[in-house]
Amino acid sequence: MNDTLYLVIPCYNEEEALPETARQLKEKMDEYIEAGTVSKDSKILFVNDGSKDGTWALIQSLCDQDPLFAGVCLSRNRGHQNALLAGLMTAKDHADVAISLDADLQDDIHAMDRMLMQYYAGHDVVYGVRSSRKKDTFFKRHSAQGFYRLMRALGVDVVYNHADYRLMSRRALEGLAEFDEVNLFLRGIVPLIGFPSTTVDYERGKRIAGESKYPFKKMLSFALDGITSFSIKPLKLITSLGILIFVVSLIMVIWALVAYFSGWTVSGWTSILASIWMIGGIQLLCLGVIGQYVGKIYGEAKHRPRYLISETIIHKRP
Ligand code: UDP
Ligand code: MG
């Protein structure tokens, strides 16, 4: 018990929430350091994900005031998952254990007590799981829960109601570093790392300040990313659909021949028009799904860097 803990917090335009977040987290960390739960070299690491407001200036001034704070600045906005990865990979080189959380403190920071207990009890990964979503909007609650169910149904191993609030040991972080996929969906990757893991429940609160940085469009594309990065079931469904349509078309051909030889060739305008539209629609849909996967391969094949760091501030304690 005296391991170095890094809290990793991705921040995108969070100048409104940051001062309060920093205050609450500092209080918590001081408590841990005082009690000897974590070492004096532990840090609160903010990752600036190319914010357009004064977030980085704020992080810089926090770092100057107190060596407990540290900062990483990305060269531009790369999205939540990449920012988080940048922070975790920085933590990997300095800490024994890292906990990732959002800048808006929607995740109850007191759950970290139990996370650390589980870590010292020998777990490498501790997932924070939302026991209730009472404070989320109706839409967010239902869309998120539907998403977890869908992922499960598609055979993806995700922890139900767990977002990115989790503890990872250095061993687990080193494991994470081995996964170099560009289409990053950490919730799907972490369970693949293995090692002993457990969950800790907490109640999800409201954003302390500012607005959600995940508008509906981003949320939807994130969900699609999760599915197409971890499941090929949609492709299998398409194959089944193709077989089904083929069987139906055989029946249709037989029916058409029977009709022809029986001499009742009616002017079947409606049925022809309907089938052309339907099959055309299904084909386009299937092409779209396949296109999603081809797009993924395209991204992975280019293997562009997931983030670039323009500046890192980690002050040593005097
Ligand atoms: N975030 C980020 N880059 C982005 C969007 C969001 O680093 O492009 C961060 C954001 O600052 C916050 C976390 O990701 O710390 C989660 O975002 P938010 O709380 O807005 O999402 P929600 O809780 O509404 O899903
Ligand atoms: Mg939030």
* pLDDT tens digits in sequence order for the chain, 318 residues long: 789 999 999 999 999 999 999 999 999 999 999 998 999 999 999 999 999 999 999 999 999 999 999 999 999 999 999 999 999 999 999 999 999 999 999 889 999 999 999 999 999 999 999 887 777 778 878 888 888 888 888 888 888 888 899 999 999 999 999 998 888 889 888 999 999 999 998 988 888 888 888 878 888 888 888 888 888 888 888 888 888 888 888 888 888 888 878 877 666 777 787 788 888 888 888 888 888 888 888 888 888 899 999 999 999 877
- Residue 188: CB within 6 Å of ligand 1? no
Q: Residue 144 and residue 150: Cα distance in Å, rounded? A: 10
pLDDT of amino acid 266 = 67
Helix (H, G, I), strand (E, B) or coil at 197: strand
Centre of ligand 1 to C-alpha 220, Å, is: 14
* Closest atom of ligand 1 relative to the 49 alpha carbon: 7
Tokens of 14: 């969070």
307 conformational bin, left if phi > 0, alpha if psi -120 to 50, beta if neither? beta
Enter the DSSP assignment of 38.
B
Measured at the CA of 74, the angle between CA 136 and CA 186, to 5 degrees, comes to 50
Cβ burial of 102 (10 Å; 0-12, 13-18, 19+) is buried
Tokens of 286: 């299937």
Counting ligands in written order, the one closest to the CA of 210 is 1
Helix (H, G, I), strand (E, B) or coil at 198: strand
- Residue 80: CB within 6 Å of ligand 1? yes
Please tell me the residue having the least CA distance from ligand 1 atom 23: 212
Which amino acid belongs to residue 267?
A: S
Q: Residue 119 and residue 228: Cα distance in Å, rounded? A: 32
* Closest atom of ligand 1 relative to the 47 alpha carbon: 7
- Residue 214: CB within 6 Å of ligand 1? yes
* Closest atom of ligand 1 relative to the 213 alpha carbon: 20
Centre of ligand 1 to C-alpha 211, Å, is: 9
- Residue 106: CB within 6 Å of ligand 1? yes
Q: Residue 35 and residue 29: Cα distance in Å, rounded? A: 10
Q: Residue 17 and residue 55: Cα distance in Å, rounded? A: 10
Handedness of CA 22, 24, 30, 36 (dihedral sign): negative
Handedness of CA 287, 288, 293, 297 (dihedral sign): positive
Tokens of 181: 């996929």
* Closest atom of ligand 1 relative to the 83 alpha carbon: 7
Please tell me the residue having the least CA distance from ligand 1 atom 3: 80
Counting ligands in written order, the one closest to the CA of 52 is 1
Q: Residue 33 and residue 23: Cα distance in Å, rounded? A: 15
Please tell me the residue having the least CA distance from ligand 1 atom 19: 212
